[in-house]
Structure 1
Amino acid sequence: MDKYTLLIVDDEKDMLEGLKRILPYELENTKIKVTSNPHRALNLIKQNLYDLILMDVRMPEMDGLELLEHVKKADPAGTIIMMTAYGSIEIAVQAIKMGAYEFVTKPFELPDLVRQIKKGLERSRLIRENMTLRQEISEKSVFEDFVGQTKPMKKLYETIYSLAHTDYSVLIRGESGTGKELVARAIHSLSKRRSKSLVTVNCPAIPEHLLESELFGHKKGSFTGALKDHTGLFVEAHGSSLLLDEIADIPVSIQTKLLRVLQEHEVRPLGSNKNINVDVRILSTTNQDLEEMIRYKSFREDLFYRLNVVSVSTPSLREISEDIPLLIHYFNRKVASELKIEAKKISTSVLESLMRRDWPGNVRELQNFVRRMIVFSGGDEVDMSSLQAVDSHNHNQSSGTEEVPVYESELYSEAKSRVVNQFTEEYVREMLSRTNGNISQAAKLAGMSRVALQKITKRLEINPESYR
């Protein structure tokens, strides 16, 4: 079986035939393809990845530098050796700057050429192995926060893999707390767009009068308060993916403009008379019945079909109840890491009790419950007393009968500081919970700057990642 692939491109047919005849004896396990037409070479490169491309600098239909530029776009990691006459050294040096691996001068000695080709093939092998290893590591890390071995979860993993390798718009549907954003991030992280960060917007968290500007951008002076130009999220996401979280909450007026962007692949910032081309993959989530909203004219049917090219559903905790023990142990380790303590033992009675419960808030509700159990447990084990303490705390909060803080013999300044810190921590955690750990959106909800909120989370040792 051939280990390497080599493509030779040269308009001198005698040279091609000679290399095609001689090189197989010098290069073991190497499949050699030759062509005198640079346009055909480009088509071959688009169809197959070659370990090494050996090409002439001067060709009549397309010179080697132009072909090199096209090749590097098709295969940025490709290894290319340029062949040049003695009088074209400057061009060869330019080719190196453009991404060629090496150049050889004509006429060349066969041993020198073979040595360069072998070095190039070895380089290509190392690059490909490194890329494969990085991809494997990346794929493993993508699913680190996915827990579950039930049939619905295995189906979800398979769906994520299959959708990741397409460029279709994906609508992710499911109840609140089922990890819809997590699925979107996994699809993006496994896609060809993964080199650029996923851009997210929490639709219900942004007021209607700001959402249009946030999505499409605006020019300075386009409305009251527009003190400078603003790049919209579509432009920011160019070449990447844009997650429209809870898409059902977008007002109809903005739905119309969003539809035009998806149809035309261009945006026009508020106050501008110029369109900007955008290449963006759309991922959107919803926990609402969009078909019902279409019937009541609160969601555009044509936009629905643009967003729902492919659909994926996240299972509720009711559907994966057998995974609850795995989830509890996972959250136990995660919270222990956040608090910088040893993971606690979870008693069997607690596991059995939690498996019997209803979880309308799904995985997110379970995660918050486990976090509270660990905080309320005094020893090394989370037992039924810890569970009952959380139940009592939750009941007091929901009934408005939470105990008044006891100030004991504290000084006023000490008591005030403690109560303010307690309020601040609860408030910040609530904002992060509402926005699934999106610190920018949490800051907007709180009416403060992102930097200010980051300082608070750092001071209180709150990790926004734990809310995602």
Structure 2
Amino acid sequence: MTQQQLLIIDDEVDMLQGLSRVLSLELEGVSVVTASNPVEGLELIGTRTFELILLDIRMPEMDGMALLARIRETDPNVTVIMMTAYGSIETAVEAIRQGAYDFVTKPFEIPDLLRVLRKGLERGRLIRENLNLRAKISEQNSFANFVGQTAPMRRLYDTIQALAHTNYTVLIRGQSGTGKELVARAIHDLSKRKSRPFLAVNCPAIPEQLLESELFGHKKGAFTGADTDYVGLFEEADGSTLLLDEIGDIPVTLQTKLLRVLQEQELRPLGGVKSKRINVRILASTNQDLEKKINERTFREDLFYRLNVVTVRTPTLRDIREDIPLLVDHFSKKFCAELEIPTKRFSPAATEELMRRNWPGNIRELQNFVRRMLIFCKDEEIETLHIHAVEHPGASPVQSLVLQYANMTLEPYIEARNRMLEQFTRSYVQNLLFTTNGNISKAAKMAGLSRVAVQKIMRRMGLHSPDFRTTVHSPQ
């Protein structure tokens, strides 16, 4: 296994040497490299790949914030953890806003430092592996919409690549929201049929009386309203791939005809008298228990075995929980670009909160959740407090604080109290204005404060009532 690379940049030579000795012993499989000045550090970053950089904020030649910006320009995917002196929390928080992953405060205890570094190294490993995999298949661009490096996802990638080089019929099974259509498209894009358009039909979305014509086509006069010949999807997909999405919902009356087309690779349109040979690769997907439907006689057993030549199962989000940070980062960048807003990020604590959830709607649910957070959270960094505020705008502020600070890093009491109070006040007033649609008089009455007091808080927080008058409440 390739060693991970950790770079430490600090102008204190004694600190560098001590850290290098300790971390080389404590971090198995990690190569520790040091640089005693920013220029040397940038030279190393330009010629080598590092999973993690431990960077001091205060250095004489170039401060850590400026160096962080240069590092992000050179390698935007590297994970950076900042080292800051006691009492410089505000600077460290600003560094996180500028792209650092986390920070540690000097003087630090080695066990605490190791815990933070191991999390950073794991994040760096996942990002590098994901980038390497996507680069490896960039020619086909088949996995452009896949994100994940856990064992189930690796098996899925291997399965897709193996099946792409065959013409077997494939049954793709998995819960809703697990990317079954993405799997089908990837199989097609890696196959010899990729030069032809990939076609898909959502079986339950088309009324039963129209589905037969949609699949197999019809001749003019075949039924009332058939004024011209119509080419069905099977004929249109000749030489290509056709996905029968949610095949479990196809009407029993059509299953016999579908079985014959699959067996004979011949097609006869409605109202036609001649059959036509076709060359179509069939992929089918379902989230249903087809074996149960067979027992209930609502799905033909012979059609099931015709479709189930090879089975692919898409993992649930619970199976790939460790990939959630990568998915959240991917969706955040994608949706911020779509919304034309500055890039936002989820804090480590917020990401851990998402990793603890069950996500019954799987990746689709997570995707929609991230989009909703980006729309309704105005801050650059999304915290657990924001998650709770968007999901439950009428909830108790105390509950929000419990969620926000459950995993907080200990800091001096006064600083922690002031920060907590500031965030509580902002969240409370924002929720208040959301609830009253920006009406300050109603907000003051609901809060038990005077109108002047609410206005004073709003001025201090930079909040403006018109911003809340046109705001649509997030869906519950």
**Same-fold call, TM > 0.5?**
yes
1:219 matched residue in structure 2: 219
2:147 matched residue in structure 1: 147
Q: Which runs of 5+ in 1 are unaligned?
A: 1-133, 396-402, 409-417, 427-468
Q: What is the SS of the residue equivalent to 1:332?
A: helix
**Contact persistence 1:374–1:386 (CA under 8 A):** no
Deviations along 1:291-338, one digit per CA (max 9) or x if unpaired, are 111111111111111111111100001111111111111111111111
1:335 matched residue in structure 2: 335
**Contact persistence 2:333–2:343 (CA under 8 A):** yes
1:313 matched residue in structure 2: 313
Cα distance between partner residues in 1 of 2:312 and 2:145: 18
Counterpart mapping for 1:246-325 below 5 A: 246-325=246-325
1:23 matched residue in structure 2: none
Cα gap change, 1:265/1:253 in structure 2, threshold over 3 Å: closer, same or farther? same
* Amino acid in structure 2 at the alignment position of 1:138: E
Cα gap change, 1:137/1:292 in structure 2, threshold over 3 Å: closer, same or farther? same
Deviations along 1:377-406, one digit per CA (max 9) or x if unpaired, are 1121112233123312799xxxxxxx9996
Deviations along 1:181-223, one digit per CA (max 9) or x if unpaired, are 0000000000010000111000111110010000000112211
Once the 2 structures are TM-superposed, how far is the Cα of residue 168 of structure 1 from its aligned partner? 0.3
Counterpart mapping for 1:59-458 below 5 A: 137-139=138-140, 141-392=141-392
**Contact persistence 2:137–2:143 (CA under 8 A):** no
Cα distance between partner residues in 2 of 1:247 and 1:165: 23
* Amino acid in structure 2 at the alignment position of 1:364: R
Once the 2 structures are TM-superposed, how far is the Cα of residue 260 of structure 1 from its aligned partner? 0.6
* Amino acid in structure 2 at the alignment position of 1:144: A
**Contact persistence 1:369–1:390 (CA under 8 A):** no
Once the 2 structures are TM-superposed, how far is the Cα of residue 155 of structure 1 from its aligned partner? 0.4
1:46 matched residue in structure 2: none
Cα gap change, 1:170/1:377 in structure 2, threshold over 3 Å: closer, same or farther? same
Cα distance between partner residues in 1 of 2:136 and 2:323: 28
Q: What is the SS of the residue equivalent to 2:139?
A: helix
Deviations along 1:42-66, one digit per CA (max 9) or x if unpaired, are xxxxxxxxxxxxxxxxxxxxxxxxx
* Amino acid in structure 2 at the alignment position of 1:260: R
- Which has the larger displacement, 219-228 or 232-241? 219-228
Once the 2 structures are TM-superposed, how far is the Cα of residue 271 of structure 1 from its aligned partner? 1.1
**Contact persistence 1:218–1:269 (CA under 8 A):** yes
* Amino acid in structure 2 at the alignment position of 1:170: V
Q: What is the SS of the residue equivalent to 1:138?
A: coil
Q: What is the SS of the residue equivalent to 2:359?
A: coil
**Contact persistence 1:376–1:389 (CA under 8 A):** no
Cα gap change, 1:190/1:223 in structure 2, threshold over 3 Å: closer, same or farther? same
* RMSD, aligned CA: 2.7
Cα distance between partner residues in 2 of 1:206 and 1:404: 41
Cα gap change, 1:271/1:407 in structure 2, threshold over 3 Å: closer, same or farther? farther
Once the 2 structures are TM-superposed, how far is the Cα of residue 341 of structure 1 from its aligned partner? 2.3
Cα distance between partner residues in 1 of 2:234 and 2:360: 34
Once the 2 structures are TM-superposed, how far is the Cα of residue 136 of structure 1 from its aligned partner? 5.3
Cα distance between partner residues in 2 of 1:175 and 1:293: 16
Q: What is the SS of the residue equivalent to 1:200?
A: strand
Cα distance between partner residues in 1 of 2:172 and 2:247: 10
**Contact persistence 1:174–1:313 (CA under 8 A):** yes
Cα gap change, 1:394/1:294 in structure 2, threshold over 3 Å: closer, same or farther? farther
Deviations along 1:48-105, one digit per CA (max 9) or x if unpaired, are xxxxxxxxxxxxxxxxxxxxxxxxxxxxxxxxxxxxxxxxxxxxxxxxxxxxxxxxxx
**Contact persistence 1:262–1:306 (CA under 8 A):** yes
Cα distance between partner residues in 2 of 1:366 and 1:394: 22
| Matched length | 273
Cα gap change, 1:206/1:220 in structure 2, threshold over 3 Å: closer, same or farther? same
* Amino acid in structure 1 at the alignment position of 2:139: S
Once the 2 structures are TM-superposed, how far is the Cα of residue 137 of structure 1 from its aligned partner? 3.5
Cα gap change, 1:281/1:176 in structure 2, threshold over 3 Å: closer, same or farther? same
Cα distance between partner residues in 2 of 1:293 and 1:149: 34
Cα gap change, 1:405/1:242 in structure 2, threshold over 3 Å: closer, same or farther? farther
Cα distance between partner residues in 2 of 1:181 and 1:342: 30
% of aligned pairs identical? Answer: 60
Cα distance between partner residues in 2 of 1:371 and 1:250: 33
Q: What is the SS of the residue equivalent to 1:283?
A: strand
Structure 1 runs, 4 residues or longer, greater than 4 Å off: 403-408
